[in-house]
Structure 1
């Protein structure tokens, strides 16, 4: 991994079972096959960046990890638990929505758009899911929310409404909203793509700080500087397949496959 003085992120060599394991994942929308047999393992504390052109399947794969999209076939395992299903005998049985909601608490999701509730304050946005999904009492939920807001530098905005915040501030609140659920893995789906250029840095700064704490992260982004400086592993996807995978020094600076070389040269 290439390192910089301010963003160095080092994890130990992977050991033990992966925290996320994707096995032969397929996903089709009608006649269009978006994922064509993806296999990927992510170990605890790793930062994995997914690169690829629009339509390559990156966001769909993220959404399959927390079952926002139901795979057409294949298996997603998070912390040893098959997502969306339970195993009975030698068969998989789909879980009810309440059980899937519980499983989703393992994975915090940050989208391109912030998806904050406009009629709720920042604090109210953060305590909603812990209280409804995890049954956390209000006092504890507020304490956890304040801690998460402090982590993203937004504690001073706890009582304001989202409409008063900049795009970068709203996205930082969205990250805090995911953190307050205390997930094992954070999933980021192009979290800076909807931001004005001058606001991108503040969100990437929060993500870099999370990486230094040992948070396991899977990030879809075109921010090559972030990938080069923070990722332990970079995965390049093309046409629904994982084409190339390795440290940033390989995939970004010395890609093997022509598709990867063409993509990297187009965005640098």
Structure 2
């Protein structure tokens, strides 16, 4: 089955099928193959935590899910729609940047660094994308932004500039900025790795509340406590491949693969 047939069959699947489907995903940078045929399914309301050593392909996989990185081959489907492409006849055609930007509104992305605009207030940071990408009017965007800020405990900082906030506060604003787009899936790429240890908890608590609320989440992290307590499924990646997956009690506490055991032992 070629890529177009795979994509067509996957998008024709029933609504009960996974909200995210990654099918035989490959990604190379020059001669270096980072992803080597990854398959992953995430169901609505599920929290999937991805573990693995630096360079195993976790962040690249996340960036392919919302087409920040263009896959070398394979297919990513979110909410029944092929990401980055349209199907025409028996071929896949890459979408223009404006169409890809609209698709990305389905996948809220939170990075290691906060990437807030320093010249804008917190509120201005949040309403920028809804107004520019989705064409939302200012009043509606402001209302939605306040709601998102309340969800992360930052509504009282709506009118300040990012430079006045701690790292943990900036990351909570970054989460709110993703939430205000009302995504189907939230993607977290090591969201606490740049924080001082005493600030990690406040961000993890926000993520736990999102998980409890039913938000679909794919989280790249080394926070084993979070993975054990919140994840429905843990995925371990090594050298560009998905080596092991299952509930936390299996992958973290009783891993079957030697590379998983070695990794878990190194961080516990």
The equivalent residue for 2:238 is 238
Q: Equivalences for 1:111-150 in 2 at 5 Å?
A: 111-150=111-150
Structure 1 equivalent of residue 205 of structure 2: 205
1:207 to partner: Cα distance: 0.0
Q: Which residue of 2 aligns with 1:4?
A: none
User: Does residue 163 of structure 2 align to residue 163 of structure 1?
Assistant: yes
Question: What is aligned with 1:39?
Answer: 39
Give the superposition deviation at 1:16.
1.6
Q: Quote how far apart the aligned CAs of 1:243 are.
A: 0.1
Residue 139 of structure 1: CA displacement?
0.3
What are the equivalent positions in structure 2 for 1:28-177 lying under 5 Å apart?
A: 28-177=28-177
Question: 1:181 is paired with a residue of what secondary structure?
Answer: coil
SS in 2 for 1:169: helix
Query: Which moves more between the two structures, 194-203 or 90-99?
Result: 90-99
Match of 1:192 in 2: 192
* Counterpart secondary structure, 1:188: strand
Q: Deviations over 1:117-142 (max 9, x none)?
A: 00000000000000000000000000
The equivalent of 2:263 in structure 1 is: 263
Shift of the alpha carbon at 1:153? Answer: 0.0
RMSD: 0.6
Query: Partners in 2 of 1:37 and 1:210 — Cα distance?
Result: 30
Whole-angstrom distance in 2 between the partners of 1:41 and 1:91: 24
Distance in 2 (CA, whole Å) between partners of 1:131 and 1:228 is 38
The Cα shift of 1:90 comes to: 1.5
C-alpha displacement at 1:151, in angstroms? 0.2
Query: Which stretches in structure 2 are left out of the alignment for 5+ residues?
Result: 1-14
Looking at structure 1, the residues matched to 155 and 97 of structure 2 have their Cα atoms a distance apart, in angstroms, of: 33
TM-score normalized by the length of structure 2:
0.94
Cα deviations across residues 152-172 of structure 1 (Å, max 9, x unaligned)? 000000000000000000000
Q: Give, in whole Å, the separation in 2 of the partners of 1:54 and 1:163.
A: 29
Alignment partner of 2:153: what SS?
Answer: coil
Large movers: runs of 4+ above 2 Å: none
Q: Distance in 2 between matches of 1:86 and 1:17?
A: 20
Task: Please list, as runs of the form range in 1=range in 2, the aligned pairs for 1:219-230 lying within 5 A after superposition.
Answer: 219-230=219-230
Return the alpha-carbon distance in structure 1 between the equivalents of residues 142 and 198 of structure 2: 31
